[in-house]
Amino acid sequence: MTTEAAYLKQYDASRFPAPLVTVDSVLFTLHQQALCVLLVERAQPPQEGRWGLPGGFIDMAHDDSTRATALRKLTEKTGISPAWLEQLDTFSGPDRDPRGWSLTVAWFALIAWADCQPRITSVSDARWVPVGALGDYPLAFDHGEIVAAALRRLRQKTMYSLLPVYCLPDTFTHGQLQEATEIVLGQPIQRKSLIRRFEASGMFEETGESLATGARKARLWRRKPGVDIHLFSRNLLAD
Amino acid sequence: MTTEAAYLKQYDASRFPAPLVTVDSVLFTLHQQALCVLLVERAQPPQEGRWGLPGGFIDMAHDDSTRATALRKLTEKTGISPAWLEQLDTFSGPDRDPRGWSLTVAWFALIAWADCQPRITSVSDARWVPVGALGDYPLAFDHGEIVAAALRRLRQKTMYSLLPVYCLPDTFTHGQLQEATEIVLGQPIQRKSLIRRFEASGMFEETGESLATGARKARLWRRKPGVDIHLFSRNLLAD
DNA sequence: ATAATAGTGTCTGTCAGACAATATGGA
DNA sequence: TCCATATTGTCTGACAGACACTATTAT
């Protein structure tokens, strides 16, 4: 038996103290002109009754990675996979969870409201909360900080990509993307600048359909399958 | 006793299986016109004899966060704190470590070669490896992937900030920053563009001294204390 | 003086901001 | 037709790329 094999045979991870590891996600969507985040009411201690991010422990028997854990937990709540999912950061320390030294891997996700609305309303412990109304929800642990970090990431990335499309349904108009972008950034943007980027990105194709929202019909677009997000070399709203 | 307090009293984290958690850092520096990464030869199994990133387990009695773990491990090897330290990503899964389901929090760090060189040469198991020579070093676990991710982060961020200054000594010249930037990006940049950004960043002040490297003396600069890194709204080398 | 490196001036190209002009479709 | 919204045209400004030009210092 090699040294390596002998070592592994006698190795017992449970002999060492380990931090409490969780995976939490900040899932955003857009609904009624507001940026919303998915919160879950905690049914068990610790912090029973407070609101928190959807997440939980890694299921080592089934999860391939913390991404899988995040997806599993989000799918339980929304019924579908988010259109966008990226790792945000980790948050750790001896005091953030009363059970002891803990570490959470935080993920940042986007989804179209229409795609998961039926499931959310049927899950009574989950709720979409407009980010402006977060003050009314006492958040568990350091989840407020995590949401704040996710918001910064979303806003920063919206400056140099068309990330808000991942909050829109499969087909959408320029106007919907403009509205989504303005809600995320919290200020109006130049439609012309957006459309220039939209063309330059190479990410989209026309469906041939069009949508009458108010006056003139607007063309409908979809994301080209298999095409990655385009990052621009300049920011919007550079000031 | 409240429900919460009762719950915490009976809670025993060790009853639940937990992933193996480590903290690893990718520390870069510049030396002899090359971008180098600090590697450590593994003295213990698993993967004894292979090279890996400096890192290890969280010391829950002393580390306030995984940042503290990263700093502690880096300081052991280099003798000083890195000039730049940010979280890179986490890497996790059942197969990346032979001991079982594991998760590593990866940090990305920069330091000036002169600031830690004496210590490194005296620590026989640590070595600066030029990134071009990484092929000669069989890396443990998925540390090759982690280094690749750190390199992408470094190069991307160099496009919209003056991040390579954190690889320079306390005082430095425009020429040294240009050289550092060119080594990181792997291609020449316009000195004029760099100096325009240097001025606009507001991050630096003259020392009053100057340095004769070859011909005309160059002014020496230092980072203004307490001033954060400046992010530009456009990339260099946008193409 | 010459060479070599430091530092400046300035023109061009790209793309975001601004907003005017035109197109379309329903009432 | 008229209005609201969609879409396009085009001018301006900021800033990176390019490169010529001037300044300084060791030899």
- What's the DSSP call for residue A123? S
Among B136, B144, B125, B128, CA closest to B43? B125
Give yes or no for CB of B57 within 7 Å of strand D: no
Give yes or no for CB of B9 within 7 Å of strand C: no
Question: Does residue A133 sit in the same domain as residue A72?
Answer: yes
Question: Does residue B125 sit in the same domain as residue B174?
Answer: no
CATH number for the domain harbouring residue B207: 1.10.10.10
Query: For residue B59, is it within any domain?
Result: yes
Dihedral angle, C-alpha A218, A224, A230, A234, nearest 10 °: -20
% chain B with pLDDT above 70? 93
> Each residue of B89-120: pLDDT tens digit?
999 999 999 999 999 999 999 999 999 887 88
**A48 and B4: CB-CB below 8 Å?**
yes
Q: Is the pLDDT of residue A151 over 90?
A: yes
Question: Does residue B43 sit in the same domain as residue B145?
Answer: yes
Structure tokens at B154: 């470094």
**Burial class for B13, CB neighbours closer than 10 Å (0-12, 13-18, 19+):** middle
Query: For residue B46, is it within any domain?
Result: yes
Q: Which among B131, B157, B183 is the end of a domain? A: B157
Domain hosting residue B113, numbered range: 19-157
Question: Does residue B50 sit in the same domain as residue B25?
Answer: yes
Q: Would you state the pLDDT for residue A238?
A: 93
Q: Is the pLDDT of residue B158 over 80?
A: yes
Q: Which among B104, B127, B157 is the end of a domain? A: B157
Question: Does residue A150 sit in the same domain as residue A186?
Answer: no
Question: Does residue A141 sit in the same domain as residue A165?
Answer: no
Distance CA B164, CA A234 (A): 20
Query: For residue A44, is it within any domain?
Result: yes
Query: For residue B3, is it within any domain?
Result: no
Give yes or no for CB of A190 within 7 Å of strand C: yes
Question: Does residue A37 sit in the same domain as residue A137?
Answer: yes
Q: Would you state the pLDDT for residue A6?
A: 64
Distance CA B73, CA B169 (A): 22
**A233 and B235: CB-CB below 8 Å?**
yes
> Each residue of A66-98: pLDDT tens digit?
999 999 999 999 999 999 999 999 999 999 999
Q: How far is the CA of B181 from the C1' of D18 (A)?
A: 18
State the best of B7, B42, B57, B158 to mutate against chain A, taking most chain A CBs within 10 Å. B7
Angstroms from B143 CA to nearest CA on chain A: 16
Query: For residue A233, is it within any domain?
Result: no
Distance CA A219, CA A175 (A): 10
Q: Which protein residue's Cα is closest to nucleotide D17 at C1'?
A: B190
Q: Which among B157, B174, B196 is the end of a domain? A: B157
Q: DSSP string spanning chain B?
A: --HHHHHHHH--GGGS---EEEEEEEEEEEETTEEEEEEEE--SSSSTTSEE-SEEE--TTT-SSHHHHHHHHHHHHHSS--SEEEEEEEEEESSSSTTSSEEEEEEEEE--HHHHHHHHHHSTTEEEEEGGGGGGS-BSTTHHHHHHHHHHHHHHHHHSS-GGGGGS-SEE-HHHHHHHHHHHHTS---HHHHHHHHHHH--EEEEEEEE-SSSS-EEEEEEPTTPPPP--SB-SS--
Query: For residue B99, is it within any domain?
Result: yes
Q: Which helix (H) or strand (E) holds A200?
A: helix A191-201
Question: Does residue B73 sit in the same domain as residue B187?
Answer: no
Residues 169-228 of B with CB under 7 A from strand D: 189-193, 196-197, 200, 210, 212, 215-217
Query: For residue A85, is it within any domain?
Result: yes
> Each residue of A7-49: pLDDT tens digit?
656 676 666 789 999 999 999 999 999 999 999 998 887 888 8
* Residue B8's pLDDT band (cuts 50, 70, 90): low
CATH number for the domain harbouring residue A116: 3.90.79.10
**B105 and A93: CB-CB below 8 Å?**
no
Polymer length in residues for chain B = 239
The tally of domains found in chain B comes to 2
- What's the DSSP call for residue A227? P
Question: Does residue B23 sit in the same domain as residue B86?
Answer: yes
The sign of the torsion formed by the CA atoms of B103, A20, A143, A121 equals positive
Give yes or no for CB of B175 within 7 Å of strand C: yes
Question: Does residue A123 sit in the same domain as residue A87?
Answer: yes
Q: Which helix (H) or strand (E) holds A177?
A: helix A174-185
**Burial class for A73, CB neighbours closer than 10 Å (0-12, 13-18, 19+):** buried
**A13 and B105: CB-CB below 8 Å?**
no
Question: Does residue A126 sit in the same domain as residue A183?
Answer: no
At residue B124, φ and ψ (nearest 5 deg) are -70, -20
Query: For residue A101, is it within any domain?
Result: yes
Question: Does residue B84 sit in the same domain as residue B197?
Answer: no
Angstroms from B209 CA to nearest CA on chain A: 34
